[in-house]
Structure 1
Amino acid sequence: MHSKKIPIINSSKNKKKLPNFIWAIILSLIFMYGGSLMGSLATVPLFLALRNIPLFFNNKDLLSLLITLFSFAFISLLVFFRVKVIEKRSFSSIGFNKNNWLKKYSLGFLIGLAMMSIIVLILFPFGYITVEKNPIQPVGISAIASVLVILFGWIIQGATEEIVTRGWLLNVLSTKYNIGVGLLISSTLFGLMHLTNPNVNYIAVINIILVGLFYGLYVIKTNDLWAVCGMHSAWNFAQGNIFGFKVSGLDVSVGSLIDLNLVGSDFVTGGIFGPEAGITATFILLASIGILLFIDKKRYFSNKPLKS
């Protein structure tokens, strides 16, 4: 007998207690920036404890990035507090159902890796990617320890952004208004939150909004948050520490399995912001959304959420 699953959409028994879209956006920003501040203070003891370990002592940038990514956990704690204490809901109601969670997460992680790998496979044959001959970071076998360590940080960071934008914001706005409003606002805010990243441009913001639409649609169609947490973490991890690109404009040169450079037209590749700012990523994201909608029409997703 299957256990009853709590739908993400319409998961609150009293819509009147949910915030309107303005207050929901403000709360999301409080979660993100307030939680980051809390995390930056709370992780100081961890930084002090790890800084003399050889791996980190010899690669101080690795420790700094790891601590930054770990600090995102405090953002999630704020959201969990809001959901459990104020809204009085279970974690299942934001998409964290325990059933087959590892399988769902692993599938999402593989999808995220595949999407970024396809971008590389498109760009490389046309000469838009070169291999760095004089890397300034550990690469290949010498980077394995650093890559595995930083993966844990990306797992926390990717999950946190999904918990805020898809698990909570999409959730409450879709319940209070409708799915279209929830999807549009959560995706747009997700894109706009990257406006302060280095070397951002309009294609980057559009692509990040498209990422939000893809993840949001996946959550709506599957009633699950585990998979998009995996996708998000794998997407960032692949960019920065498998292929050696910048991640949303941020330099994460702490170790990479391969160190690649984007060359040629920034419009095509994304340039110094990374692949997210290129039209190639736009094509992959639109294709991914199309494939998701196509397989949904084929009734691939059996766990449909309730319509609002």
Structure 2
Amino acid sequence: MAFAVEGPALAPAAVAHITHRHIALSPILLTGILLLSYGGYGLLVRWGERRPVSELALWRAPFELGAGALTGAVLMIMIYVSLLATGLYQEHQSGAPEWLFQALACFATASLEELLFRGIAFRILARLLGSVPALGISALLFGMAHLIAPDASILAAVGIAVEAGLLLAACLMLTGRIWCAVGLHAAWNYMEGPIFGATVSGHVRPNALLSSSPADGASPLWSGGNFGPEASPVTMLIGLVAFAAVMAVIIQRGRRETGKLA
């Protein structure tokens, strides 16, 4: 029932997700698709499922977007510094970033992907199978979706699933809304591409503040190769640690709630 209700809202987001992997959609077009997808999803859930669209509730959106963005930025700084410190990455001449243009593109793309993979896929899987199976399956789907990216590989897809798919779904579990995941996802991509100048999921970001690439002689298995840092075991490890930290908070909260009911 849920898939039938939300299918029309899923379509434009899915088209944008697939298309922007091959051509650079303008931020204006992405924003239009974003508004259409979120608006359509909200209306269909209200009318079809006859419930409040709690996963898109706006009352905590500013705080959760900010908290997620801060977390995503810190994680990517940790990843970038680790790659430089281990000699897996090197810096080049810096460029002239297009701050607003790139920020809007990162936010719109992250918002669409979070609606697809966390707001719809994870939520429905959790309803059908439970949260734990939904974590793994939605993360796997998220990783597989990146196989269409340039220079993608099985290792890259596993990396995306492990370091990002699990963490982003855990953010939804923690808050009950997608905003924290949107902020984390957008800031992660923004720091990785427009700021550090690394390849983001196989896509080169022009006009970055810095410019970086795998160091000469660095093994692609460790640096991530042409796909970028997201295929590096270093990134997977940091993402897994962050996921474990979020899950620890969720578990501890559950224990407190159980104690209150006892």
1 or 2, which has the higher helix percentage?
A: 2
Matched, 1:18 2:2: yes
Which residue of 2 is the match for residue 165 of structure 1? Answer: 117
Which residue of 2 is the match for residue 209 of structure 1? Answer: 161
- Residue type matched to 2:62 in 1? L
Match of 1:194, SS state, is helix
Percent identity at matched positions? 23
Matched, 1:82 2:44: yes
Give matches, 1:174-213, under 5 Å: 174-210=126-162, 211-213=164-166
**For the Cα contact (< 8 Å) 2:5–2:48, is it kept in 1?**
no
RMSD: 3.1
Match of 2:248, SS state, is helix
User: What CA distance in whole angstroms lies between the structure 2 residues aligned with 1:289 and 1:194?
Assistant: 20
User: What CA distance in whole angstroms lies between the structure 2 residues aligned with 1:214 and 1:109?
Assistant: 13
> 1:29/1:250 Cα in 2 relative to 1: closer, same or farther (>3 Å)?
farther
Q: Normalized against structure 1, the TM-score is what?
A: 0.71
Give matches, 1:87-126, under 5 Å: 87-92=49-54, 95-126=55-86
Q: Normalized against structure 2, the TM-score is what?
A: 0.83
The one of 105, 120, 128 aligned to 2:88: 128
**For the Cα contact (< 8 Å) 2:117–2:138, is it kept in 1?**
yes
1:31 deviation in Å?
4.9
Larger Rg: 1
Matched, 1:282 2:236: yes
User: What CA distance in whole angstroms lies between the structure 2 residues aligned with 1:282 and 1:87?
Assistant: 37
User: What CA distance in whole angstroms lies between the structure 1 residues aligned with 2:5 and 2:142?
Assistant: 13
1:114 deviation in Å?
0.9
Which residue of 2 is the match for residue 6 of structure 1? Answer: none
Match of 1:240, SS state, is helix
Matched, 1:33 2:14: yes
**For the Cα contact (< 8 Å) 1:24–1:169, is it kept in 2?**
no
> 1:25/1:86 Cα in 2 relative to 1: closer, same or farther (>3 Å)?
closer
Q: Number of aligned pairs?
A: 252
**For the Cα contact (< 8 Å) 2:17–2:113, is it kept in 1?**
no
Matched, 1:149 2:101: yes
Stretches of structure 2 that go unaligned for 5 or more consecutive residues are none
